[in-house]
Structure 1
Amino acid sequence: MATNVNNNHCTICKKEGFLSKCRECSKLFCYSHLVDHRDELRKQLDEIGSTCDLLRQSLVEQRFQLQNQSSIQQIEQWERHSINKIRQTAEEAKQLILRSTTTHIAEIQRQLDKLTDQLRQTSRNDNCGIDLSQWKLELAKLTEALYKPPNFYAIEDSTPLVTNIIAKVQRGMYLRITVVLIVTM
């Protein structure tokens, strides 16, 4: 902290004599003022430490407040909106397939009921002059239609369903970094 110097004078009281030079500020002090100066330096060091502690506390608070930033909330809103759009589109596609399948099965049921009614009518009337091969062919067609339903395809459209979001971060004077985040679907 201090070195002994035998000439010059004390920075505070201007007295000459046995003086010490402060390593920090290179000023000369007599013994009594050197003690005061050291106390002042300790006080300044304590203030710097307190300022560091306050800054550390502010950093902790900033981490907790991050979720409340409007930019984070905006991204979360975009996320929810995008997910809802995707879910809605997927649900519409599934409903289309379910409706088509239900319609297909109902049509087979209708044709089978018609064929069954014709068979019953023929049985009641004891009419054996009917072409059985025609009914067998109709029944085979219905069976094939049941076990080989129409093909359904899921084709991805190249038109984006969800818009991109771009997050830009420009840091302050100590951290000069620009981060760009582009999310694509």
Structure 2
Amino acid sequence: MALTLTRRVCGKCNKGAGTAMCYGCEQAFCTKHFLEHRQDLSQQMEYIGQEHDVIQRDLTHEQDTHFLITRINQWEQESITKIQIAAQSARTNLQQLLNRPKNNLQTSVSKITEELQSSRELDDYTELDIKRWTDQLQEFRKILDAPIPVNIDYEKDSRSAVRLIKINDQQSLDSLYQTSQVPEYNDWISHSSDTFLSERFDDIFGKVILSEGGLVATCAGGHADRSCVCGTSRYSVGVHYIHFRIEQTSTHYHSFFGIINSSEKMTFDIWNSSSFNGWWDLDYSVISGKSNRRLSPETIRMGDDVTLMLDCINRRIQLEHHRTNRTVTMSIDIQLCPFPWKIIVLLLGKDDCVRILQ
């Protein structure tokens, strides 16, 4: 039997004999085109090598910052700035609150300093003076040593990744100024942040009878006696409310509601003192011992309730008359009436009577 040979042509030119075989693409090529085919493969290999080198370079070198990384960096810096601002504000506010008792007492302490120096130089003092100075210094020490009712609050935004802080002054009741509602009339004693005691009458001058544990003061004399009575509490910080009821009043004389410096001695002419501040009536005020009366009908009368507010934070006092819903406010010159303050009530008519409501 004769052997039959199949002749393969070049896969490139289809003319010459396919003398070389590529086992990759399984095509036969003539010598010329086989060399060209290998050259094409070599060029493809070169391109692959270049792509490999580029990828290898990108793996080992820093790439350009991703836009989300930029956003994260921006958020980080903004958050740090907000935290720093909140922290600085909190530090400043806290330091102001911590310094407030010292600042409030500075004038009072300076006054005692002058008295002590003068009395020593003149050798002019008695046991009564020593007791008065001792009591005042003990009161100042209580105020300085009392913890400041202050706390740190966090913002209530649950969506925030970082909760900012702020200083919460627990003494501040500024929101109460925006409403006509009067809070409970418990008195916060300025030398104790967690002690709540009721105000009561105690120190008297003239003819005053105290009853019901110091809650009721009744005048047993007349206008010539200039009878007056002070409260037991001392006020240097915070906001305080004392609620009174006029149970009896004469038709000829007013009762006075106000404050004086706690070291002020009760005397016949106390109403001329520079620390004497308050009201005989809503349109009849006394500021630093000087009367200021406007021509208007009398407002306060028997059976009325009034509330005296002592705002040591803003250095002012306020009298609210509940029957007419009227309020009058007075700023206090801290140089003339330094802290601590105490309340004072004057009763000029016989049987005039004032009650502190609990």
Task: Tell whether the 8 Å contact from 2:11 to 2:18 is kept in structure 1 after alignment.
Answer: no
Q: Name the SS of the counterpart of 1:127 in structure 2.
A: coil
CA deviations over 1:64-111 (Å, ceiling 9, x no partner): x31xx6554444333322222221111111111122223322223322
2:8 equivalent in structure 1: 8
2:20 equivalent in structure 1: 19
In structure 2, distance between residues paired with 1:28 and 1:120 = 124
Per the TM alignment, residue 148 of structure 1 is displaced from its structure 2 partner at its CA by 4.0
Higher strand share goes to which structure? 2
Higher helix share goes to which structure? 1
1:136 equivalent in structure 2: 134
Q: 1:117 aligns with which of 111, 114, 118?
A: 114
1:170 equivalent in structure 2: none
- When structure 1 is superposed on structure 2, of 51-60 and 13-22 the one drifting more is 51-60
The aligned amino acid for 1:11 is: G
In structure 1, distance between residues paired with 2:7 and 2:146 = 110
* Runs of at least 5 residues in structure 2 that lack an aligned partner in the other structure: 1-5, 163-358
Task: Tell whether the 8 Å contact from 1:22 to 1:29 is kept in structure 2 after alignment.
Answer: no
1:106 is aligned to 2:107: no
1:181 equivalent in structure 2: none
* Runs of at least 5 residues in structure 1 that lack an aligned partner in the other structure: 1-5, 165-183
Larger RCO, structure (CA 8 Å, separation 6 or more):
2
In structure 1, distance between residues paired with 2:7 and 2:148 = 107
In structure 2, distance between residues paired with 1:140 and 1:7 = 126
In structure 2, distance between residues paired with 1:58 and 1:17 = 44
The alpha-carbon distance between structure 1 residues 46 and 122, as it changes in their structure 2 partners (threshold 3 A), is same
2:75 equivalent in structure 1: 78
Per the TM alignment, residue 135 of structure 1 is displaced from its structure 2 partner at its CA by 2.6
The aligned amino acid for 2:106 is: Q
Query: What stretches of structure 1 move > 6 A for 4+ residues in a row?
Result: 58-62
What is the RMSD of the two structures over their aligned residues, measured on CA atoms?
Answer: 3.2
1:96 equivalent in structure 2: 93
TM-score w.r.t. the length of structure 1 is 0.64
Task: Tell whether the 8 Å contact from 2:18 to 2:28 is kept in structure 1 after alignment.
Answer: no
1:153 is aligned to 2:151: yes
Per the TM alignment, residue 40 of structure 1 is displaced from its structure 2 partner at its CA by 1.0
TM-score w.r.t. the length of structure 2 is 0.37
**How many positions carry a matched residue from both structures?**
155
